[in-house]
Amino acid sequence: MRSIKSSFLAAAALAACIAATGAASAQTEVKIGYALAENSHYGVAAKAWAEAVEQATDGKFTFRQFPSSALGGEREVVEGLQLGTIEATIVSTGTLSNFVPAVGATDIPFLFRDLKHARDVLDGPVGQEVLPLFDDRGMVALAWGEQGFRHITNNKHPIGTPADLAGLKLRTMENPVHITAFETLGAAPTPMAWPEVIGALQQGTIDGQENPLSVIVSVKLNEVQKYLTLSGHVYSPAMLLVSKSFFDNLSDEEQQAFRDGAAKGVVAMRAFVDDVEKSGVATLKERGMQVNELSPEQKAEFQSSLKAAYQQYYEKYGKDLIDRIIATK
């Protein structure tokens, strides 16, 4: 009897060990790459997204974070999603417009009145109509994220009129909408992947760049830039994406967990942006940046100077779409 009992206990222990090994092997790693640091709005969103999915799936999926462009620039990460070598990302729309052109409409200068207007557009019919367009590009767009309104920094002088941009070498994203706008205003836009920007500013290859306060603060651009102009010239969304080949192999329940997790990531991201919009200017002033803000009259002058660019936007994206965005309450 003792022998039978011992054999039974040994068999039970072996079965438990096999079950534990099977559970461990069933765990799926989700590589998520993004351009900024973990303490940025990207990192905050990624953390909330990961925690929600891991909890909803009882740990079946575990996210492995690759911040600060550890998997490459945004274009390389997006291409990784298409190939299925990277499972998830949080990425700016500046890069995505090269893959899904309709995204570019959200980057038109002076299109959104404020953060509430932008969020209402993206969470409403206009924004939701764009998400399915990613399916044909090897990606699944789960939600619109956010960076905030973009502002200009440079090492030459404060910017108060379009004339102050003349000849200024400004790094832009690889975004045709932004490039058209700055060319129209007389600047010299220089498309550049984010990992190259800090070095280019240090070396004087470029004079400045433009980004939301959430980025300017988190990467400490004050260390390489003297002047900050609160221009608010473009609202800058982001997107939470997964690889379609990865997503299509999930069960309905798992897919819903990723969607719900992405929604929680967006909530965390927007809360971060709200906080930085309130505190970011004071932080940058404390760090030594010289800050000026465009008045409504000055912004109107910039808008007037962009009439030629708007004609191009109407032709590319359709005046009806742009009017729908403007008319959203």
Q: For residue 123, is pLDDT > 70?
A: yes
Amino acid 26: pLDDT: 73
Cα gap 282→279, rounded to integer Å? 6
Query: 3-class SS at 57?
Result: coil
The predicted model gives 228-236 an average pLDDT of 96
pLDDT tens for each residue of 185-220: 999 999 998 999 999 999 999 999 999 999 999 999
Amino acid 135: pLDDT: 97
Q: For residue 15, is pLDDT > 50?
A: no
Q: For residue 171, is pLDDT > 60?
A: yes
Cα gap 103→141, rounded to integer Å? 11
Q: Are 40 and 146 in contact (CB under 8 A)?
A: no
Which candidate, 63, 71, 61, places its Cα nearest to that of 91? 71
C-alpha neighbours within 13 Å on the C-beta side of residue 102: 12
The predicted model gives 270-278 an average pLDDT of 94
Amino acid 4: pLDDT: 44
Other C-beta atoms within 10 Å of 320: how many? 9
Q: Are 58 and 23 in contact (CB under 8 A)?
A: no
Beta bridge partners of 291: 228
Domains of the chain: 28-327 (3.40.190.170)
110: left (phi over 0), alpha (psi -120 to 50) or beta: left
Cα gap 268→271, rounded to integer Å? 5
The H-or-E segment that residue 115 falls in is helix 115-123
Q: How far apart are the first and last CA of the chain?
A: 79
pLDDT tens for each residue of 72-98: 999 999 999 999 999 999 999 988 988
Question: Where does 57-98 have alpha helices with state H?
Answer: 74-83, 93-96
Q: For residue 164, is pLDDT > 50?
A: yes
The widest CA-to-CA distance across the chain, in whole angstroms, is 96
Question: Regarding beta strands 139-154 and 88-92, do their DSSP bridges make them parallel or antiparallel, or are they unpaired?
Answer: unpaired
Average pLDDT, the chain: 92
Other C-beta atoms within 10 Å of 45: how many? 28
Q: What is the DSSP string of 293-329?
A: E--HHHHHHHHHHTHHHHHHHHHHH-HHHHHHHHH--
Amino acid 14: pLDDT: 42
